[in-house]
Amino acid sequence: MDVFTRFANQTQGRDHLFRATQCTCMLLRYLLEPKAGKEKVVMKLKKLESSVSTGRKWFRLGNVVHAVQATQQSIHATDLVPCLCLTLANLNRVIYSICDTILWVRSVGLAPGINKEKWRMWAARHYYYTVLLSLVRDLYEVSLQMEQVAHDRAKREKSPSQDPLGYSVADEETEWLQSFLLLLFRSLKNHPPLLLDTVKNCCDILNPLDQLGICKSNPGIIGLGGLVSSVVGIIIVAYPQMKLKTC
């Protein structure tokens, strides 16, 4: 109950919940549209998706302040690569939040003359940069974890009576690939926050890739990616110890 209360009291938590609902509607709509006799259900899903999207815009109005605070925190990261990646990512997040706010102002009719398509593309571009830089940071952290696992493995291999990985590779041609995948698996298994952050960013990048025309997708894949990302976000908000640390 305490976890739910802490989650429900946070704007970020409610936004993740709304986004999960929105993406579920998108996914279900994509699956049901080709089927005959589902027109009413599809229409209801569209209305619910639109209503939830409108609600999310209100939750995101304060994101500019959060992004500025995150930028100030990331500057103090001790490692140069995370410091650079996170600072640039958060600066792009600030610009994205400004673009998103301007789009909200237009949607409520306060400034109907705003070019919606132009600002939408700017928002998508800076959101793409934000997620891409976050992914670069994740890959860097993964490489460090893999290096540590490999170092520990080399230490244990000094004892000839032990097989440190508990795994033998019969085919030498595929040994490097299997060793790499096993190192990757063990690295992420030993560091759940890194696994969650990597999965979330991989899912988040699908939408801007589609909007910018870099890699076209369909609403089903985008909806599924958004749903997975939202579930991961809910876990991170509900259990703060699962959040990947900045420093």
Which residue, among 89, 28, 20, has the nearest Cα to 56 in the 3D structure? 20
The answer to whether residues 136 and 85 touch, using CB atoms and an 8 Å cutoff, is yes
Banded model confidence at residue 167, pLDDT cuts 50, 70, 90: very low
Q: In this predicted model, what pLDDT tens digit does every residue of 24-63 receive, in sequence order?
A: 999 999 999 988 888 899 999 999 998 888 878 777 777 7
Phi, then psi, of 114 in degrees rounded to 5: -65, 135
Of 179 and 164, which is predicted with more confidence?
A: 179
Q: Is the pLDDT of residue 142 over 90?
A: yes
The average confidence (pLDDT) of the chain is 85
- What is the rounded distance in angstroms from the CA atom of residue 180 to the CA atom of residue 149? 11
Banded model confidence at residue 9, pLDDT cuts 50, 70, 90: low
Compute how many other C-beta atoms are within 10 angstroms of the C-beta atom of residue 103: 16
The whole-number average pLDDT for the span 220-234 is: 95
Q: Which of 73-87, 149-163, 207-221 comes out lowest in average pLDDT?
A: 149-163
Q: In this predicted model, what pLDDT tens digit does every residue of 70-123 receive, in sequence order?
A: 888 888 878 888 899 999 999 999 999 999 889 888 887 788 888 989 999 999
The whole-number average pLDDT for the span 152-163 is: 66
Q: Is the pLDDT of residue 169 over 50?
A: no
- pLDDT value for 221: 94
